[in-house]
Amino acid sequence: MNTENAKGPVRQLRLVVESEDYEAALHFYRDVLGLAELEAYEGEGDARVSILDAGRATLELSNPAQVKLIDRVEADGQPSARLRVAFEVEDTASVTAELVEAGAELLATPRETPWRSLNSRLAAPAGLQVTLFQELGPAEGRGSTDGAKSP
């Protein structure tokens, strides 16, 4: 999504996360997951921030029934956090393994969903619950509003 051509007043979605172990979180998300650092700033009192590029941003709103459906499909019914970050990747299995090796806790192994994506779920640094998803190809209902699609 090109923000210069965005319609409406919002040009960017930015998720702001406080991390007690800033260096570990930065290493995990920038160096292991591969999010490019766009900006970084330091301020008084050892204040630090890094802005990482996560590609296109979307806001997915789900009702409780949809969340239960996704939890059942993606994580064997294990409840998801109220806020969960999903990253689309090229190879869910290999990225999952890399993130686990870098310290993430595996909550659900990669599995194919009914809407043809390969999803895994992890507990990651900075207290984030993360879903990795890889689109596998066309799926019936993908892009519809029938409530089936969700990372």
How confident is the model over 128-150, as pLDDT tens digits? 999 999 999 876 654 544 444 55
pLDDT at 116 over 50: yes
pLDDT at 74 over 70: yes
Confidence band for 5, pLDDT divided at 50, 70 and 90: low
Instruction: Give me the pLDDT at residue 7, please.
Output: 73
Closest Cα partner for 52 from 97, 19, 16, 90? Answer: 16
Confidence band for 8, pLDDT divided at 50, 70 and 90: confident
What mean pLDDT is predicted for residues 8-12?
89
Computed over every residue of the chain, the mean pLDDT equals 90
Instruction: Give me the pLDDT at residue 14, please.
Output: 94
What is the phi/psi pair of residue 67, to 5°? -60, -45
Contact 29, 12 (CB under 8 A): no
Give the alpha-carbon dihedral of 22, 28, 29, 34, to 10 degrees. 140
Q: Give the pLDDT confidence of 82-92 residue by residue, as tens digits.
A: 999 999 999 99
Contact 96, 109 (CB under 8 A): yes
What mean pLDDT is predicted for residues 102-125?
96
In the structure encoding, which two tokens stand for residue 91, read together? 């190879």
Q: What angle do CA 88, 51, 89 make, to 5 degrees?
A: 10
Order of strands across the sheet that contains 105-112: 84-88, 128-135, 117-124, 105-112
The percent of residues above 90 in pLDDT, for the chain, comes to 82
Confidence band for 97, pLDDT divided at 50, 70 and 90: very high
Task: Give residue for tokens 């040009």.
Answer: 11
Q: Which amino acid is at 102?
A: A
What is the phi/psi pair of residue 110, to 5°? -60, 135
